[in-house]
Structure 1
Amino acid sequence: MRDAVPWCPGCEWNLDAYDPARRQREFGWSWIDRWTYRMAFRATRRQFAQLVGRPLGTDGSGAARTLTAAASVLLVAGVFALAVVGGWLIVAFPFPNLAVVPGVALVGLAIALRPRFGRLDPELEVLTRDQAPELFGLIEEVATAVGAPLPDVVGVDGAINAYAGTVGLRRRKVLCLGLPLWGSLTASEQVALLGHELGHFVNGDPRRGLLTQPAFTMLGSAADLFRPVRTTVGGGLVEMLGDALGRAFQWVMSRMLFVAYLLLISVALRDSQRAEYLADELAARVAGSTAATDLLDAFVGAESIALAVRRETQAGHGPDRWRSALAAARATGADRLPLLRQLSIRDEASLFAAHPPTGLRRQMLAGRPWQDPSVVLSEARMERIDAELGKEYDRFRRTVSWSG
């Protein structure tokens, strides 16, 4: 934190300062990045103030959800119209004819802009119930406690992360547990993690809805497709002039589409952030408020997880030692934790952030009625789950050893 722009921990003066040394560029121009950061910080704070202490609901914010769904329907309809018109131009006139050229172009454009509903990550190591019966049993208990459907696919990967999503037109539900994160958490925090991720299947997150998901990808794809590319090198004056006019048209279209995408995504992601707050509340419902807030503190200290896991893994140790090392790191850094929570509010504010800052998520959860756990994972059962994932942990250890 020594490299961060100073702020007052008591009154949070200057916490909203733009800190270019700690932020990745989002637009490439510092004045735009500074302006959009200010917008994002204010919007994030305003939403927190509107939601704190109030029911979060499962149906989302009506205006944002309606706008996102309407935009998705219009985008899909527009792409469908391109395909229909292009197909008609190809078959409506006797071949050969010049109408085939724009017809093929329109069909190609429709294919390039088609809605994409995701696919299973090829890096995901899919588990079966026979491989991990204890883990699947725990997932069922947590899903029942939060009122969520069971995932169709359960898998693990090597990321310090976890996610739940839906893929394909059949909307297959996928739950992925990153081994470094899962193996570093305590038993109660593992239950909280499952509660949060499975909560995404019932929290009304627009990123996962069939009707709303196209809004998150199609305009961005269109803006990227129209990005100017020089196609003529040398040539005569006519060719150079045509190329310049074409690139000018592409530049205007690309910027217009990107601005439209930015406006839409900034509205839609506010609803997505509300859904994250609700997923945290569902995690507290199943694992208890203490475990849910401790889990968020683990996210704040993600660097400690990375260091502890890599050090212990290279020494040949498994998840039991990961947890011990992380507990020691947490105890050492306990005094810095309140500052890290505050700093996360500055660092994680963004117009493109699907998650609210971790510090605000913890404040939101801590301000709600305290809850006791409804699902308890014993140490013995956690050890059995570790044993079930033994091959996956071994594979991860080999990968870390090779990369080290």
Structure 2
Amino acid sequence: MMRRCLTFVVAAAVQLASLSCLALGVWLCARHFPSVGLLPGVVLLALGALTLPRPPALPREATRLSRAEAPALHDLAGRVSAALGLPRPRVVAVDDRLDAASGFDGVFRRRYLRIGAPLWAVLDGRQRIALLAMELARNGTGDPGRAPVTGWVDRSLGELEALLEPQRDESLRALQDPAIVAASSTRMGSQMTGNQSLVWVAELLLFPVVWVVRGAVGLLRRAYVALQRPAAVRALHAADAAGAGLAGSAAVRDVLAIRALAPSIATVLRRDARAGDHAGADAAALRRGPVGPVVAAWPALVAQIRAAQPSPVDDDPAAYPPSLTRRAALLADAAGDPALDLDTSATDAELEPIYRRVVRDLRTG
């Protein structure tokens, strides 16, 4: 409870500071315009705009599927949500990753579900139910990173810290090159030398300020993440347990293992798509639906990868977020049969255009 209160206090302080910077910046810019207060006013406006917590948005590269375009996928997500006791996602999207995600989109916090088409293609029916349950359950487990007040601050602090990251200015480095300075001075006299000294002085004055500000922002962000960590880890494990209750512990472990091997799987799928050798697409796989011989061969390829390359072991309890293999190791066996056993084959026909695009990108990318 104390951590939750401190998290809320820090989030409220960051939001209040952002609004204060915006208000003070507007006042300095408008007071006796134009005046010497214009420059600090613009700086405060920029700082307030950068640190003002903003809701996350669904990535643009994700393809949104309406209910008319994918009725089976929407119905499947709705039935899994109902089994979890949660509202159905308002937005269902598909992208080209070997991963999946869920969350809240925009200011109005519309629930969304984002599925990677390659990951969906390599999973069987029960594993697909497990994937949906694990992702959708994360919206109802009390994760502070998904709350409207505390969930937006870390994202804003991360963007500000990345903006303050020192970048190597190639043009500035070129101006500081002794050979270029000597050549320029010979042609232009002492003018270039004076300008060069001005650049160096400005850099020497600004660098310590930027370094101190970035250090303060980074320290605040890490302290904020540390406050959120216990609740976030509990929410993650609760989502895994919810998935095990609906689809079985074995299905959840399979999904976690496949996601842990995503880089290796992506390499093999790309090589298979370019080579055109799809011997793994046996008759049973082809009966899954109109996915084509390339996509139909992927489950057999993934099974071979899992047999040849076990998931990496990472049992570090201090790691954050916990590794996929650690999540699988901590998952308790669900008692009884899985609560849901749904047919997911109709979704392959709906995702056929996405599958074709993924195969094309693998061949040409």
Q: Say yes or no: TM over 0.5.
A: yes
Against the structure 1 CA distance between its residues 254 and 322, is the aligned structure 2 distance closer, same or farther, given a 3 Å change threshold?
A: same
Q: Pick from 116, 123, 132: which aligns with 2:54? A: 116
Equivalent in the alignment of 1:88: 27
CA distance in 1, matches of 2:102, 2:146: 9
Instruction: For residue 311 of structure 1, report the CA deviation from its aligned partner.
Output: 4.4
Asked if 1:185 is matched to 2:145, the reply is no
- Kindly indicate whether the alpha-carbon contact (under 8 Å) linking 1:155 and 1:175 is maintained by their aligned counterparts in 2: yes
Equivalent residue, structure 2, for 1:133: 71
After alignment, is 298-307 or 160-169 more displaced?
298-307
Per-residue CA deviation, residues 131-151 of structure 1 (Å, 9 max, x unaligned), is: 221111111110011112211
Normalising by structure 2, we get a TM-score of 0.80
2:296 corresponds, among 320, 326, 341, to: 320
Residue 373 (str. 1) matches residue 311 (str. 2):
no
Please give the alpha-carbon distance, in whole angstroms, between the structure 1 residues aligned to 2:342 and 2:295: 16
Residue 33 of structure 1 corresponds to: none
- Contact residue 189 and residue 291 of structure 1 kept, 8 A: yes
- Distance verdict in 2 for CA 1:220–1:307, change over 3 Å: closer
Distance, in Å, in 1 between the alignment partners of 2:2 and 2:269 is 43
Residue in 1 aligned with 2:282? none
Unpaired runs of 5+ residues, structure 2, are 177-192, 277-291
The alpha carbon displacement at 1:287 in A equals 0.9
Check conservation: 1:300, 1:344, Cα contact below 8 A.
no
One-letter code aligned to 1:126 = R
- Measured after TM superposition, the shift of residue 207 of structure 1 is 2.0
Instruction: Select 2:250's aligned residue among 274, 290, 293.
Output: 290
Would you say 1:281 and 2:274 are equivalent positions?
no
- 1:390 paired with 2:355, answer no
Q: Percent identity?
A: 30
SS of residue paired to 1:217: helix
Instruction: Write the distance in 2 (CA, Å) between the matches of 1:240 and 1:322.
Output: 57
Pairwise CA distance, 1:226: 4.2
Q: Distance in 2 between matches of 1:301 and 1:89?
A: 54
Specify every segment of 5 or more residues in structure 1 that has no aligned partner in the other structure, as ranges.
1-61
1:72 aligns with 2:6: no
| Distance change in 2, residues 1:199/1:209 (3 Å) | same
Q: Distance in 1 between matches of 2:296 and 2:165?
A: 50
How many Å apart are 1:235 and its aligned residue?
Answer: 3.5
Aligned 1:330-349 pairs, distance under 5 A: 330=306, 332-333=307-308, 337=310, 340=311, 343-345=313-315
Distance in 1 between residues matched to 2:166 and 2:364, nearest whole Å: 41
Cα distance, 1:123 vs. partner?
Answer: 0.8
Kindly indicate whether the alpha-carbon contact (under 8 Å) linking 1:124 and 1:176 is maintained by their aligned counterparts in 2.
Answer: yes
* Residues in 1 aligned to 2:144 and 2:231: alpha-carbon distance in whole angstroms: 7
Shift of 1:242: 5.3
Q: In 2, distance between residues paired with 1:363 and 1:307?
A: 26
1:192 corresponds to which letter in structure 2? A
Letter of the 1:319 partner, please give it.
Answer: V
TM-score by length of 1: 0.73
- Aligned partner of 1:57 in structure 2 is none
- CA separation in 1, counterparts of 2:199 and 2:72? 68
Number of positions where the alignment pairs a residue of Structure 1 with one of Structure 2? 327
Question: C-alpha separation between the residues in 1 aligned to 2:314 and 2:270?
Answer: 23
Q: Spell out the pairing of 1:214-293 with structure 2 (5 A cutoff).
A: 214-227=152-165, 235=194, 240-241=200-201, 243-293=203-253
Q: What is the alpha-carbon root mean square deviation over aligned residues? A: 2.7
SS at match of 2:33: coil
Shift of 1:117: 1.5
